[in-house]
Amino acid sequence: MIILEKDFKIEHNGDTFVLYLLKSKKELKENSEMEYKVHGYYVALENAIKSAIQWRKHKKYPFKEPANILIKPYLDYVESIKKFRTYCNIIYEPIFKLKEEVFNGYRQFQNRH
pLDDT computed for residue 74 by the predictor: 93
Q: 14: phi > 0 → left, psi -120 to 50 → alpha, else beta; which?
A: left
The residue among 26, 23, 73 whose CA lies nearest residue 45 is 73
What's the Cα-to-Cα distance from 80 to each of 30, 57, 75, rounded to whole Å? 42, 24, 9
pLDDT computed for residue 38 by the predictor: 92
Residue 107, classed as helix, strand or coil, is helix
pLDDT along the chain (113 residues), means of 10: 92 93 82 85 94 92 89 94 93 88 71 61
pLDDT computed for residue 112 by the predictor: 63
Is residue 37 within 8 A of residue 9, CB to CB? The reply is no
Helix (H) or strand (E) holding 101: helix 68-112
pLDDT computed for residue 52 by the predictor: 94
